[in-house]
Structure 1
Amino acid sequence: MPNSELSLSPTPAPLARIMRSGRVVVCPIDETLLLVIGAGGPLADQLPVEIDEDATIQAIASIIGWRLAASQGSATHGFAALVPVDRESSMPTTLRFGKDGGGKRYIVAPRTVSTGDVAAMLKELAGPQVVHVLGRLVDVLMKPPLDPRKLGAVTTLLKAGIARDGYIELLGESHDDAIALKGWAHDMAAGVCRAVVRAEDTSLADCNVAVFPRNDAPEDAVGFLGLLSADDLPRARDIQGIFYRGRTAWRYLAVHERKFVAGPLETPGHIRAMLLQSQSSPQVLLRLREAANGFDGTETISSLPLPVRLGVDSLYQGDEGAFLISGWMLDPDDHVQSVRLRRGRAEARLDGTWTRTERLDVEDAFADRPEFKSAISGHRRSHGFIAFADGLVGDPAAPLYLEVTLRDSRRAYMPLHPTRLSARHAALRLLNAIDPTSWALPEIVDRQIVPFLTAARANAPTIETVIDVGRFGEAVGAAILVAVGDAEEDFAPLLGLLALDPYTRQAPIVLVQQSEQFRRRAARIRQLAEFYRLPLRLVSVEGSGDASDLARTAAQAMDNETVILLSASLTPANPGWYQTLVANYETKSGSIISPTLAYEDHSIRWAGSTSLDRADHLQSSRYAGYPVGAVNRLKLTRVQTASLECCIMPRAALLDDTGVSPTYLGASLKGLDLALVLSRRGYESYWLPVLQMLGSDEASGAVSAATARYVERVDQTLFRGRWMQTVETEGTAHNEVST
């Protein structure tokens, strides 16, 4: 079918009358270009055009001319001219082609025509020459800049009169912005050609082409292997065909109805299978070899014939496409140019921002191998790396892999399977895996973990299960809300204390846990509640292990308007503490009231906070270290923020939309963050010295004692980034008002 043509638009009014009368018809391409169709004598390829008999308004026209099969009066040649114009003015009425006021004058037909009409006219005027005329016209239109309207005109012209030339039998998707093609054609030439890709949305692409002999193709046809490259290519399965610039003219390649669409992992193998027998320019063959060397789902780093090896110890995927990766790379001779984490078309370069760590175990593992023995020196031991990667939010089903590019342009790959965790748990796991004495740990915290937590935005936690034990529905009064965090492994004694107090054993108690903890402990908690005859509601929360998030989520499963937050790690030091808190709250309804937090030796841990007045003071806790006897006679005191480890507050405060907060690793600064937000929303905070709760400083069970100070460093960095600029701005404004 190489000589058949695509369908044409209906021919407009007969052209003979227009040509005999010295008229031209005009098709507006865009706001700056007109396509003019006419007939007359032979014209040069470029001529000045005088518009509306005004010698000051001239443009240089590009002209495609041809001899008419049959002369029409004095007209022996037809022409298609592209005339640059200023469309802000009205459509021209006359055009004069020629120099110095001479040349041929044409009257512009009052009615413009469409690009489809132009194609039909050219078929009538050019006859069998229409393919070459349209091809030359398209070549001129394709010169940059090529805006969407020009591309639309090009597509219409190509559809109207370009001959079919073969078929595309295979379309191959890739991880890069490229699509592989395989098929046969008559006019296809090796090299790089321009192509217009037909799909729902037409796009323009470059096509790198190699050709090879095919015995199963029609006579004089060759097989071809192509690679389409562009920024806006459609999906391979959506391509209907391509128009391409062949050796002699523009041609059309249709996609065969029995096409095969290869996935990104299959495409490199199809290219490799045909590449050895294909011929083209060195540049094209290099481009095809790169595509053939693409990721096909297999690990190829370990088979490199160079002393380069790489391994991954852990890969955590947080929220919003954020990743935290820990591994090692042995490259003693500096063969590696770059290391990238890739998913589909998204990528993140790791080697420019990663933190290197000492890994003697890696060096020892390869020291006896001949290819590494001579290259490894005792002076370079930073073979490990930890890196944060962001922005890989493409198709979650697309494979994730590492791409190592060598300095000689070769590439090798390692497929990866990330562990899906919340950003908080991922960071805690990584911190626990690092040697706490490592000199690189501060840089890992500042350059990898903090950015990872900042980029990852956790989804809002949700209630998974609610179970009532005892007569919870009949209990009245302020509800005691116990949020069980990571560190609270054994809270049975707290349930026993609540059962011994005549007031608390009648109060509604809500105990909330993260879903994983809930599944392990629900049966035991239920047994204890039934034994103590406590009115208890068990709440399982999916998506968070942070105590503040647990409490705020559990508040949705309560009807009580007043809530007493109580950390499972605290122990009441005073009898009657429940009714004392409730009585003071009744005098300050709608506020947040906290007791003194003390150590088990009855020295003060927290006794009210002052304002955050300087960037190096996160929180000034008054009387810290004093014995509780020094303050227990003081009255209810207004403070900057309450402690959410233990407080009485309105349930509405927990349900307030406080916006997105950083993903803190510990509970202390997360609680302070929420307390500051509530303070700025108008909730007054008070400290009640007469009551004390006993407990130790936060010691998260999720990290070792040696790593705990780095957890604190992470949280302080996140907290300062969120609040210090606000605090300093407020302090400056306060000083200016005072002055």
Structure 2
Amino acid sequence: MREQSPAVIGPPAGGHAASRAMRFGRVIGCRVDETTWLIIGLGRVAAGDVVVGLGEDQAVTPSLFVSEWRLAASSPRAKHGFAALLLDVGTDLAMTTIRLGEEETGARYVVAPRLASAEEAAALVVESAGSQSAAVLDRLVDALMVGNVSRRRLLTISALLQSAHASDGFIELIGESHDGAAFLQGWSRAMAPGPCRVSVVGNVTPVVAECGIAIFPRPDAPDGASGFVGLLEASQAASGLDIEGLVFRGRAGWRYVAVHPRKRIAGPLETPEHIRSILLRTHGAPDVLLSLRAAANSFEGKETVSSLPYPVRMGIDSTFEADGGNLLVSGWLYDPDGHVATVRLRRRDAAACLDERWTRFDRPDVTDSFNEQQHFTPSFWSEQRAHGFIAHAQLPNEDPDAPLYFELTLHDSRRAFLPVKPTRVSARLAALRQIGSIDPANCALPAIVDSQIVPFLGQSGRFTPVIETILDAGSFDEENSPPIVIGAGESEEDISPLLALLALDPETRHTPIVIAMPAERFRRQAARLRELARFYSLSARLVSVKGTGDVHDMLEAGTQALSCETVVSLSASLIPRGTGWYGKLLATAATLKGSVVSPVLVYEDHSIRWAGSWIDDGNCDEPVAGRFAGYPLKAVAEMKLTRIAAASLECCVMPRDALLRAGGFSGGYLGAQEKGLDLGLRLSRSGFDSYLLPSVQMWGCDDAGNGDSPALAALVEEIDRKIFKSQWLPILTVEKHPERRPA
């Protein structure tokens, strides 16, 4: 049989009826969907569920629903017509005959060779049933709407309903909203005020949703029709372009209201005005009118807090957004009399309730500013002085253009809005800017760090450095020997002395060298470094890294610019304490395949800065410690190659793919020390054993901290220790004491 696809809107019913004739003894089939058929014919078949036999072998299926009627124009051979739904049949069914009823008493029919479309089937019912057709089709739709309704079945249903009720109404306006709900406006004869379950016909999987309906007078509507507005609950079909119509059960049965071909689609910022323009003329159920009133007071892209008739005002100092919609916001809320019930940060249909998680602190500047304004003077019993706040939140960011805004809900149910434009930066830079703006003497600082900064950094994703430019100075052959990757971050001093020492060392004079640095530093120094490389006859590759970053980010980017098997990482803040270091590291690594080998790091006063990291099982405050830090260098003079818990990535020899396999450096640390230690531990747990080679030493100092004040530098160290401890203490405890593993 040849099959015709159902359509939502078809030609007039009369045209379909004229092209197909119903004859006694023959039935016409219409495929509803992949497993359902509609059979139409002449004859008396009992209404309800009927046994049916299909094909030449008369295979029996019990799934048949029959609706029958008395013919408008009967004949001697037939006084009744019927429509039957054949459910749960295969897609490869090729019917030529059908039996309706039991083997002995059932009637047999020949199936017409060509299938009818849904419009033709409906036209045949309308023509033969006359005034009964609406009730007949309604019973069929009742049966079709049971269970999971596919898109094809819903299209067939809409075609059947349109044939019976050709001009029942139209949806003329679809208003989108920030929370995913859709506002509908149009006219209909069948719409009744109140909550209504509707099936959305459209370009997506069918959705059954709740729609609150209110009606209003429409002088321009046809007789018996009225205007209606509705709020369709948030669903995957809420986009205006996805909605083609609604199937619903109205006052007198099932109806279909189509979206007008010349519909208007209003954006989320326009919809509230459309609702307000019609709201006073509508009538309906109280809860529906309340939801419409709330939608009319939705965000329209402008600030409305300043229009509140109460002493409530709000200001935002900064809004930072890191990867993954990780947000850190700070500002103030002046609400001395407690009119505000909730404060939310919203984007599309997602919201974060900030008043449940923020940290409040005193803002004397805000208090003094409003105390000078008489109409903002708080009540004499008001004790609210902590107007400032800092909060972190997580909101989806799939749509970067979606507005981000604050929503204040007052105790009297009013809402006010404040749009904000987030500054998109790395989590590290956002946290540094935020804590740098807080007075170190602020008594709320510990709470801000523990409740906001540490969780914000803990939720940040991995930061992957992005290479902007690669520039070779002379010939660069990374296969000649394992390259030295020099990471020159934001705080390292001039690296010219390091290049000079590498040129004077016979082992490193002809070794390929990669120098990775932030883009701004590259712009300032690339030309000079290229000249130095040529002057010293060094084989150098200069790498520019997008944005900012520390030495570890630069080392990772420099490694990405290579394809060899082994690399030697070297921070630009270190210098060798003699020649021969390169060969010793490589020789040791050659005997320890797949391992990471680091030298001892020494201060200029010959005291030890780092000589390995070990797990300290008895120290919960510092689970991983350096045993020899601060000792004189001679304390490790007799030490041999030693297995350690984590190597120092500031200087080591390692497989090039080690960073990738361990997941790269974490983006959740502010400084370099714990950040390097974190990756060192992950390297050890990724199959790369770590070793200390005491016979090799490097001179250097601690991270310069970009010229930060001592108080800020100490705060950065404290934050990093808390982040490191929160992530690693549970892991190390379970590894050392398996019996403490949670059930």
TM-score, normalised relative to structure 1: 0.81
Partner of 2:320: 316
Q: Deviations over 1:8-27 (max 9, x none)?
A: 977999767469xxx99999
- The letter of the residue matching 1:122 is V
User: In the alignment, which of 345, 349, 358 is matched to residue 345 of structure 1?
Assistant: 349
Amino acid at match of 1:175: H
Q: Say which of 505, 514, 520 aligns to 1:510.
A: 514
Alignment of structure 1 residues 180-579 onto 2, 5 Å: 180-186=183-189, 188-201=191-204, 202-214=206-218, 217=221, 222-248=226-252, 250-375=254-379, 379-458=383-462, 460-469=464-473, 477-495=481-499, 497-498=501-502, 504=508, 506-526=510-530, 529=533, 534-542=538-546, 545-558=549-562, 562-572=566-576, 574-576=577-579, 579=580
SS in 1 for 2:681: helix
Cα offset for 1:417?
Answer: 1.0
Give the Cα–Cα distance (whole angstroms) in 2 for the partners of residues 673 and 48 of structure 1.
71
**CA, structure 1 residues 727+256, in 2 after alignment: closer, same or farther (shift >3 Å)?**
same
Shift of 1:147: 7.8
Bigger mean CA offset, 621-630 vs 138-147: 138-147
Structure 2 residue aligned with 1:672? 677
Q: Contact 1:348/1:391 (CA < 8 Å) preserved in 2? A: yes
2-structure distance, mates of 1:24, 1:476: 81
CA distance in 1: counterparts of 2:226 and 2:707, whole angstroms: 65
Describe the shift of the 1:8–1:492 C-alpha distance in structure 2 as closer, same or farther (beyond 3 A).
farther
**Given the alignment of the two structures, is residue 694 of structure 1 paired with residue 699 of structure 2, yes or no?**
yes
Within 1, Cα distance between the matches of 2:740 and 2:315?
56
Separation in structure 1 between the aligned mates of residue 740 and residue 355 of structure 2, nearest angstrom: 46
Verify the 8 A CA contact 2:13 2:123 in the aligned structure 1. Answer: no
Q: What CA distance in whole angstroms lies between the structure 1 residues aligned with 2:437 and 2:42?
A: 81
CA-CA distance at 1:419 after TM superposition: 0.7
1:582 corresponds in structure 2 to: 583
Q: For the structure 1 residues 352 and 107, does the alpha-carbon distance in structure 2 shift closer, same or farther, using more than 3 Å as the test?
A: farther
The whole-number CA distance in structure 1 between the counterparts of 2:155 and 2:415 is: 39
Establish whether residue 126 from structure 1 lines up as the match of residue 129 from structure 2: yes
TM normalised by structure 2 equals: 0.80
1:708 maps onto 2:709 in alignment: no
Cα distance change on mapping 1:34 and 1:221 into 2, 3 Å = closer
How much has 1:179 moved relative to structure 2? 2.0
Structure 1 residue runs without a partner (length 5+): 53-58, 97-104
Residue aligning to 2:629: 624
- SS of 2:656's equivalent in the other structure is helix
Q: Residues 702 and 444 of structure 1: is their aligned pair in 2 closer, same or farther, counting only changes over 3 Å?
A: farther
Partner amino acid for 2:319? L
Distance 1:177 1:560, change over 3 A: closer
Q: How far apart, CA to CA, are the structure 2 residues paired with 1:110 and 1:350?
A: 69
Distance 1:606 1:474 in 2: 30
The alignment partner of 1:329 has SS state of strand
Following superposition, the deviation at residue 313 of structure 1 comes to: 1.4
Instruction: Note if contact 1:614-1:727 (Cα within 8 Å) is conserved in structure 2.
Output: no
Inter-CA distance 509–697: structure 2 relative to 1 (3 Å threshold): same
Match of 1:55 in 2: none
What is the CA–CA distance in structure 2 between the aligned matches of 1:435 and 1:470, rounded to whole Å? 50
**1:40 deviation in Å?**
9.6
User: In the TM superposition, what is the alpha-carbon distance from 1:539 to its structure 2 partner?
Assistant: 0.8
Residues 697-718 of structure 1, C-alpha deviations (whole Å, 9 max, x = no match):
3342285432334433443344
In 2, distance between residues paired with 1:204 and 1:376? Answer: 53
Task: After superposition, give the CA deviation of every residue in 1:297-349 in whole Å (9 maximum; x if it has no partner).
Answer: 11111211122222221111111222222222222333323222222233333
Identical columns (%)? 46
Answer whether contact 2:545 2:557 (CA < 8 A) is retained: yes
CA-to-aligned-CA distance 1:357-382 (integer Å, 9 cap, x gap): 33232222222334431337674333
> Which of 609, 615, 621 matches 2:613?
609
Q: 2:690 aligns with which of 685, 694, 699?
A: 685
Secondary structure class of the residue paired with 1:398: coil
Does structure 1 conserve the Cα–Cα contact (< 8 Å) formed by 2:180 and 2:238?
no
Inter-partner Cα distance in structure 2 for 1:35 and 1:407: 56
SS of structure 2 residue aligned to 1:701:
helix
**Does the Cα contact within 8 Å between 1:662 and 1:718 map onto a contact in 2?**
no
Q: How many residues align?
A: 712
Where does residue 733 of structure 2 map in the other structure? Answer: 728
- Say if 2:584 and 2:696, in contact at 8 Å, map to a contact too: no
Per-residue deviation, 1:394: 3.3
- Look up the equivalent residue of 2:694 and give its one-letter code: P
Partner secondary structure for residue 692 of structure 1: strand
TM-fit CA distance, 1:426: 1.6
Contact 2:564–2:656 (CA<8 Å) still a contact in 1?
no
Aligned partner letter, 1:308: V
Is residue 232–residue 238 contact of structure 2 (8 Å, CA) maintained in 1?
no
Cα distance in 2, alignment partners of residues 408 and 37 from structure 1: 59
**Preserved contact between residue 131 and residue 163 of structure 1 (Cα < 8 Å):** no
> What are the superposed Cα offsets for residues 598-653 of structure 1, whole Å, 9 maximum, x if unpaired?
23332222122334545724323222222113333444434333222222x14535
- Alpha-carbon contact 1:432-1:703 (below 8 Å) kept: no
CA distance in 1, matches of 2:426, 2:718: 19
Please give the alpha-carbon distance, in whole angstroms, between the structure 2 residues aligned to 1:6 and 1:341. 53
Distance 1:114 1:347 in 2: 50
Distance 2:376 2:65 in 1: 64
Matched residue, 2:59: none
Label 1:733 to 1:286 Cα distance change in 2 as closer, same or farther (>3 A).
closer
Counterpart residue type for residue 163 of structure 1: A
In structure 1, the partner of 2:179 is 176
Q: 1:508/1:143 Cα in 2 relative to 1: closer, same or farther (>3 Å)?
A: closer
Distance 2:657 2:618 in 1: 27
**Residues 16 and 93 of structure 1: is their aligned pair in 2 closer, same or farther, counting only changes over 3 Å?**
closer
Q: Distance in 2 between matches of 1:451 and 1:281?
A: 45
1:384 aligned partner, one-letter code = G
**Contact 1:432/1:707, CA 8 A, preserved across alignment:** yes
- C-alpha offsets along residues 114-139 of structure 1, whole Å, 9 cap, x if unaligned? 99487456324421332344246546
CA gap of 1:161–1:725, structure 2 versus 1, over 3 A, is same
Partner SS for 1:375 = coil
SS at match of 1:261: strand
CA contact (8 A) 2:182 2:234 kept: no
